[in-house]
Amino acid sequence: MAAHPRGLTTAEAERRRADDGPNELPDAASPTPVRLLVRQLTHLLAVLLWVAAGLALLAQMPSLAIAIAVIVVLNAVFAFWQEYRADRSTQRLRALLPAGARVVRNGAVCTVEVRDLVVGDLVLLGAGDRVGADMRVLTSENLTLDESLTTGESGAVAHRAGDTLMAGTFVLQGEARAEVAATGSHTTLADISALSATAQRPPSPLTVQLHRVVRVVAIIAAGTGVLLGSVSVALGLPLTEAFLFSVGVAVALVPEGLLPTVTLSLARGAQVMARRNALIRRLDAVETLGATTFICTDKTGTLTQNRMSVVEVVVPGTRVHVSGTGYEPVATFSGAEEPVAVVAPIAEAALTCVTGRVVHRTTWTVDGDPMDAAIHCLALRAGHSPAAAAVEGERRPFTADRMISSCLVPGRLYVLGAPEHVLARCAQVAAGVEDDLRRLTGQGRRVLAVASRAWTHGWSDDIERDLELMGLLALQDPPRPDVAISLRACRDAGIGVAMLTGDHPRTACAIAHEVGLMGPDGVVIEGSDLPRDDAAIAALLDNRDGAVVARVTPADKLRIARALRAGGHVVAMTGDGVNDAPALREADVGVAMGASGSDVARESADLVLLDDNFATMVAAVELGRATFQNVRRFLTFHLTDNVAELAPFVLWALTAGQFPLAIGVLQVLALDIGTDMLPALALGTEPPRKGIMRGHRRRSVIDRAVLAKAFLVLGATEAAASLGAFAVVLVRGGWSWGATPSAALLAHASGTAFATIAICQMANAVACRSTTRPVWRLDPRGNPLVLVAVAAEAALLVVFLGVPDLAELLGGTWPGTLGWGLALGGGIVLVLVDGLAKWRRARLGADATGDAAPGPIPAPR
């Protein structure tokens, strides 16, 4: 059944959609919530704890066994909840990705969501489009597809009328009309993805890094556990208890909650970004974005508004200025005696070569490319009838390698394109054209040349020569107003920016100056003149005064991304075209345009800018930095605790039991669950700082600064404070070195040590809010969640120590006045030590993370 040229009616399409369901792939086998929860209950560490609980049961200690089991379950539920939420929010973000298909319905072209395609729909395909369902080609022009996603074969595959296109492939070149043959689970893609559902994505660099950290800590913890277990056996502890002891120590020391907390924090970052029109497609790109040190951006639409209009027409010897707002049909032509007579033929000629059209005049709504619409608008202003049917002619669409588009109408060939490429195909060029070209490009105009020749035969490869130049069209595209501020922010942040554009070098240079991308000593180079050597490319572009690469090809972009990365940069690169996909994948963060980009680019990107705006990308970098800092904040917080928890065991082992064990395994677990989790989450919501874009950024989440602060400064202080408080209570109770304290005295002192660590962690939670400001200079309203978390911690502490049965089970009783005084003193000491460390670092100028006064980042307009 051949498709009707008017397409389906809306009613018919709706009926078919109701019958067949939406055009969606059956849900990929993402793990069910139950599966996720089971995974959290059965990972290695959890299994170790289960074994410990089992041993406790065998050793006739049922309350201990239950306590351990409760802790494992609590921990697992918590981790599951975080992972589940992160997963859900990523799914929601994915649903925001624009996915439209151009179809003919009721005789008119319209864009529908891909999920609304139905069998029998008449679809229009162009370069860069994703094929949204299996479809049969009705008519095609130069149609080639990238089928690598479905067949695994790279390279372009040509298709013609009668062929079937598979859902999931991309149009590389050419145009086609096709009829949908199968949708949703009936497509070939559905079979393939059912096969590949088990194949998992490789883990991201951040995940790898964090897993390494957790593994190293786990190995240290296990080692310590074994060592302490052996020591306790040597000291005469029964074997089961010793084993329990070592497993407990090992598990207590491992930061189990770390990975899910990081994931959730990244998901939060991604959500905030989505609200600012920046859509993240891979969670860890949030972190990478924050680490960006070089941005390669294109020009049209990103730095400029993509609202093009023809402002001057030059026909050899005559210049006509065009003024008028938007796509309004009324315009003033000036500069020639009969300007309309000058403009009309060249506008009509150019119009034959392009397909985009003005849809709505006052809102700048276009169907297709805004540049095409500008030409359409010019023709309308020069008298072209809005109702005129499309010219019957054979078109050769624009490609980046030829830089021209052409159209053969009966008796005549028209060519439109980049001036140097059109002029090179002209038989002769009138004097003065080059001067006009120089003048117009110098003003930042995009210039197109229009030429033609008489031709009565059909197409052959070499007919676009011996042309006669009709004239030049100069297009204006105003810069986006908020770009200048964002570029300044990049400069402050030490982020390099280069403009990579297909436009003329002088046009690009003028715009770069206008938006403030380039200073007086900036570099301008054409893609074909780039040095051969990668290191030389990186050195050339890494220019403080900005860089412009004009007449750039997708292959140049790929080389630039590679060269900058080899030069040590973390590169964000924008791309919108069909051939930009490799460069987007090569860059650390590929950025595609949501409004104007092609489907191919979007599917290869890590970040999609829904509003195509450069300022949005810079805002995303700021948010990335903020998220990164928050991850570091709660890492510092988490690791500090571990030192304080480990120290009593080490001291006990080193003194061969002469110094009693200050806290027990269950207390450690209670601290981990009770005190660590909530503040860590709250720290993940710390709002970004005003100065966050100032200064360079470190590249690793865990580095020496984090480790030194957590282990040597805060951790050591906390350990000393709790052990000190423990010793004071013991000594005041009559204990002397080497003696065994009474059970009541030990429980009392242990309760004090426990309270000291918990209170120190409360102070630590507040201290970790900033890397530069001491606690007393932080605005408590800056992050109320931290206060809530601290209050919750305090309440839990009172429960742990105040409920007699629980206190007895954990091994520490209510501290009393002296104990509480010592615990509070510990918290104050931690705040002072933290303040001193920050003051010292500020004096040494070691940290330039810009962690200054809190304040929101201005959202791009």
Ligand X SMILES: Nc1ncnc2c1ncn2[C@@H]1O[C@H](COP(=O)(O)OP(=O)(O)OP(=O)(O)O)[C@@H](O)[C@H]1O
**Beta carbon of residue 512, minimum distance to ligand X (angstroms, whole number):** 11
Structure token digits, residue 210: 């964090």
What is the phi/psi pair of residue 309, to 5°? -145, 145
Of 569, 43, 652, residue with least CA distance to 291:
569
Amino acid at 64: L
CB nearer to ligand X: give 229 or 417: 417
**Beta carbon of residue 784, minimum distance to ligand X (angstroms, whole number):** 44
Structure token digits, residue 585: 């994948």
Strands 496-500, 357-360: pairing kind: unpaired
CB nearer to ligand X: give 502 or 827: 502
CB nearer to ligand X: give 507 or 756: 507
Strands 318-323, 309-315: pairing kind: antiparallel
Alpha-carbon Rg for the chain in angstroms: 34
Do residues 705 and 655 lie in contact, with contact meaning Cβ atoms separated by under 8 Å?
no
**Beta carbon of residue 300, minimum distance to ligand X (angstroms, whole number):** 3
DSSP string, 691-734: GGGSS---S-SS-HHHHIIIIIIIIHHHHHHHHHHHHHHHHHTT
Of 765, 608, 632, 636, residue with least CA distance to 692:
632
Do residues 750 and 649 lie in contact, with contact meaning Cβ atoms separated by under 8 Å?
no
Amino acid at 212: R
Q: What pairs with residue 294 in β-bridges?
A: 496, 571
C-beta nearest to ligand X: residue: 502
**Beta carbon of residue 407, minimum distance to ligand X (angstroms, whole number):** 10
**Beta carbon of residue 554, minimum distance to ligand X (angstroms, whole number):** 9
**Beta carbon of residue 114, minimum distance to ligand X (angstroms, whole number):** 24
Cα gap 750→763, rounded to integer Å? 20
Cα gap 314→316, rounded to integer Å? 6
Residue 123, SS3 per DSSP: strand
CB nearer to ligand X: give 246 or 297: 297
CB nearer to ligand X: give 371 or 541: 371
Burial status of residue 683 (CB atoms within 10 A of its CB: 0-12, 13-18, 19 or more): buried
**Beta carbon of residue 426, minimum distance to ligand X (angstroms, whole number):** 15
Catalytic residue list contains 298: yes
**Beta carbon of residue 373, minimum distance to ligand X (angstroms, whole number):** 11
Q: Which residues bind ligand X (CB under 6 A)?
A: 298-300, 353-354, 371, 398, 400, 403-405, 416-418, 446, 448, 501-504
**Beta carbon of residue 446, minimum distance to ligand X (angstroms, whole number):** 5
> Cβ neighbours of residue 691 under 8 Å, at least 6 residues apart?
850, 851, 852, 853
Looking up tokens 């009616």, which residue turns up? 9
CB nearer to ligand X: give 298 or 851: 298
Amino acid at 312: E
Write the DSSP symbol of residue 443. T
Cα gap 275→807, rounded to integer Å? 46
Cα gap 505→696, rounded to integer Å? 30
**Beta carbon of residue 835, minimum distance to ligand X (angstroms, whole number):** 50
The answer for 466, left when phi > 0, alpha when psi is -120 to 50, beta otherwise, is left
CB nearer to ligand X: give 98 or 368: 368
CB nearer to ligand X: give 418 or 723: 418
Of 129, 194, 120, residue with least CA distance to 167:
129
**Beta carbon of residue 379, minimum distance to ligand X (angstroms, whole number):** 15
CB nearer to ligand X: give 505 or 854: 505
Structure token digits, residue 252: 């207590």
CB nearer to ligand X: give 524 or 705: 524
Structure token digits, residue 50: 């289960």
Do residues 168 and 145 lie in contact, with contact meaning Cβ atoms separated by under 8 Å?
no
Active-site entry in 87, 298, 482, 641: 298
CB nearer to ligand X: give 41 or 593: 593
Distances (CA, A) of 267 to 98, 246, 481, 859: 20, 35, 30, 19
The answer for 780, left when phi > 0, alpha when psi is -120 to 50, beta otherwise, is alpha
User: Where in the sequence numbering do the catalytic residues fall?
Assistant: 298
